[in-house]
Structure 1
Amino acid sequence: MNHIGITVYGCEQDEARVFHSVALRFGVIPKITDSTVSEQNAWLAQGNPCISVGHKSEISETVLSALKKYGVKYISTRSIGFNHIDMKAAKRMGIAVGNVNYSPGSVADYTLMLILMAIRNAKTVVTGAERYNYRLDAVRGKELRDMTVGVLGTGRIGTAVIERLWGFGCHVLAHGRAQDSPIPSVPLNELLHQSDILTIHVPLDTGTYHMIGREEMASMKQGAFLINTARGGIVDTEALVCALESGHLGGAALDVIEGEEGLFYFDCMKKPIDNPFLIKLQKMPNVIITPHTAYYTERALRDTVEKTILNCLEFERGRRYG
């Protein structure tokens, strides 16, 4: 068997263990570093045309240029989204980029958890109990079976969310392009007007940036909840803060937020938070913030590593025999 090498950047300890295990099965030799890819460590890719990066890495044109200098021809990002990579620069330099599909159950399960926490005022209940305040909240929670949930995006994750929602007996609407969606797509305006809960599952690109802005929030039901486990830039955060402060929206649960880079995945207890919207949102009793962790399961990790290696093998096979 001809072995190929892959340089894996930004690899955490549990990822490294899975990479070594899976790579051995496929005859791949991984060169692993816990450092995120940069101009300074691009040399680690020398001799390995294929590299793997995480979604926490911002891959700019200058980083891509450094990688190209050391012979990189293919980047497999360990994420579904590409928004952390300068795709135009990569194309211009002749560097191919691939992504991975991991278990949609990871994000779908987490989405349902956030929905239930939002409509049952879980933040107020839990924080109160932590302070030994065991009184019931003045606002009673809601039951999902009495609500309409709008699913924005009907890809693998959106579909998995829809399938889980059916078990709660709620009315489900969807807006998306997927041909094999389990339910028909309705116009976006209808989704916004009719939904008590809006949950977002579209990728972030130029067409979806601030897709949910001031006008869209204004057209949502009074007291509606917004759930985002996709990407922060899909929601206009300033408009969201205004809609929550005015009381038009009843609450939000956000696993992602604009400007999360440099904050999420770091211990910020002793450093200033340079994101005024994040600070405002975290102080609101009806807003739940979690640090981009919906994908973070053991199954998703195994899927991600295996797909990363298969991506690189397929690229190498195409180079040799294409």
Structure 2
Amino acid sequence: MEILAFGVTADEKPLLERAFAGQHEVRCLDVFLDEDTAPIAAGYEIVSSSVNADLSGRVLNTLAAGGTKMITQRSTGFNNIDLDVARRLGMTVGRVSYYSPHSVAEFAWTLAMAVNRKITRASNRTRDFDFRLNGLMGRDFHGRTAGVLGTGKIGEAFARIARGFGMDLLGWDIARNPACLELGMKYVDKEELFARADLISLHVPLLEATRHIVDATALKAMRDDVILVNSSRGGLIDTEALVAELRAGRFTGVGLDVYEAEAGVFFLDKSLEPVEDDTLARLVTFPHVLVTSHQAYYTADAVGQIIEATVRNVADYLAGRRSENTLVPS
């Protein structure tokens, strides 16, 4: 059987082909799955999508009409998939329920360290042989307070690194993680976390209940010198409200690996095109804001685990099995 994989990066392609070798053929496309590209999947029973795919009802109907019966998404998040429509169409939908939490947690810390110590500004200066220190002063994380919004596997990994820095820990989640409690984390309501933390990192999934969990009210409650990091989902932050606070001169630094309107922009080369998103254009002009292209998960370890799970999802579908990755069974 030949599987069609959308949104495959150059780094990912040989790993996918190697993982399926001897079992199935895999056709890798670098275009993302959306309304325009869905017709390409006609004749493919199994389709693999990437994190920024559009799997709305219209796309799913196009896929089903072309003969697609199974979708396996190469990501943990699935807020982009209309599961009700998939269920009505009788399609099987799988995802990756687990991959290395360290990949995302370590990258969140990379963003925090970079904005704290002005690494981007320093690097740009030294390229021009400007070695002055003016404007590059950071601060110790040791002895300060880290607020972790979402204390699942990734939040726990982030908290462990924070403890390594000698930070106090505040946490918020719908359930307490015993491992985080053992680290000395104090669970508080999110309003207290926003008000007290020197560093805030977001590690909750994007659901209706968490969309814009960091809204204008939350942002105003934060310390003027806070560092805010989001490596989870862009929709957790009200970006317009964030820009308003940044324009007011607040926050030591903001590190964003995700953006709520990233679909159609992230993972693509837009360097020769006019900028259509005024909010994103404004964000990247702030010297204390660092925006990266949804790459927190992008390590050989994590991508390898994602691909292994994708191979298992295909095998389970063909064998009529369910697993922890199954979102919609056949």
TM-score (norm: length of structure 2) = 0.88
- Aligned letter for 1:264? F
Q: What residue number does 2:71 align with?
A: 75
Q: What residue number does 2:50 align with?
A: 54
The answer on whether the counterparts of 1:39 and 1:62 sit within 8 Å (CA) in structure 2 is: no
The answer on whether the counterparts of 1:174 and 1:191 sit within 8 Å (CA) in structure 2 is: yes
- SS at structure 2 position matched to 1:118: helix
- SS at structure 2 position matched to 1:75: strand
Cα distance in 2 for partners of 1:156, 1:162 equals 10
Q: Which is worse superposed, 265-274 or 236-245?
A: 265-274
Q: CA deviation at 1:7?
A: 3.0
Q: What residue number does 1:234 align with?
A: 236
Q: What residue number does 2:270 align with?
A: 268
**1:31 matched to 2:26:** yes
Question: Over the residues paired in the alignment, what is the CA RMSD in angstroms?
Answer: 2.1
Cα distance in 1 for partners of 2:235, 2:194 equals 18
Q: CA deviation at 1:235?
A: 0.2
Q: CA deviation at 1:171?
A: 1.1
- Aligned letter for 1:53? S
- SS at structure 2 position matched to 1:226: strand
Cα distance in 2 for partners of 1:198, 1:155 equals 15
Task: Spell out the pairing of 1:188-199 with structure 2 (5 A cutoff).
Answer: 188-199=190-201
Q: CA deviation at 1:96?
A: 3.1
Cα distance in 2 for partners of 1:231, 1:79 equals 12
> What's the CA shift string for 1:156-175, capped at 9, x where partnerless?
21111111221111112111
The answer on whether the counterparts of 2:39 and 2:63 sit within 8 Å (CA) in structure 1 is: no
Cα distance in 2 for partners of 1:15, 1:139 equals 36
Cα distance in 2 for partners of 1:95, 1:279 equals 39
Q: What residue number does 1:312 align with?
A: 314
- Aligned letter for 2:86? A
Question: Cα 1:228–1:96, aligned 2, differ >3 Å: closer, same or farther?
Answer: same
Cα distance in 1 for partners of 2:251, 2:10 equals 41
- SS at structure 1 position matched to 2:39: coil
**1:159 matched to 2:156:** yes
- SS at structure 1 position matched to 2:42: helix
Q: Which is worse superposed, 69-78 or 232-241?
A: 69-78
1:98 pairs, out of 89, 94, 97, with 94
Task: Spell out the pairing of 1:147-296 with structure 2 (5 A cutoff).
Answer: 147-184=144-181, 185-296=187-298
> What's the CA shift string for 1:73-127, capped at 9, x where partnerless?
3311101111222333223323232211221111111111111112112232222
Question: Cα 1:111–1:319, aligned 2, differ >3 Å: closer, same or farther?
Answer: closer
Q: Which runs of 4+ in 1 moved over 6 A?
A: none
- Aligned letter for 2:138? G
Count of matched residue positions in the alignment of Structure 1 and Structure 2 = 313
> What's the CA shift string for 1:188-222, capped at 9, x where partnerless?
11211110111111111211111100000111112
Q: What residue number does 2:40 align with?
A: 41
- SS at structure 1 position matched to 2:201: strand
Q: Which is worse superposed, 284-293 or 80-89?
A: 80-89
- Aligned letter for 1:282? V
Provide the identity percentage: 33
Q: CA deviation at 1:256?
A: 0.9
Cα distance in 2 for partners of 1:131, 1:293 equals 27
- Aligned letter for 2:238? D
Q: What residue number does 1:128 align with?
A: 125
Cα distance in 1 for partners of 2:179, 2:172 equals 11
Unaligned runs of 5+ in 1: none
**1:302 matched to 2:321:** no
Question: Cα 1:105–1:44, aligned 2, differ >3 Å: closer, same or farther?
Answer: farther
- Aligned letter for 1:218? K
Cα distance in 2 for partners of 1:191, 1:200 equals 12
Cα distance in 1 for partners of 2:204, 2:105 equals 13
Question: Cα 1:300–1:241, aligned 2, differ >3 Å: closer, same or farther?
Answer: same
Unaligned runs of 5+ in 2: 182-186, 323-329
- Aligned letter for 2:148? V
- SS at structure 1 position matched to 2:227: strand
The answer on whether the counterparts of 1:226 and 1:251 sit within 8 Å (CA) in structure 2 is: yes
Q: CA deviation at 1:317?
A: 2.4
The answer on whether the counterparts of 2:148 and 2:172 sit within 8 Å (CA) in structure 1 is: yes
The answer on whether the counterparts of 2:17 and 2:26 sit within 8 Å (CA) in structure 1 is: no
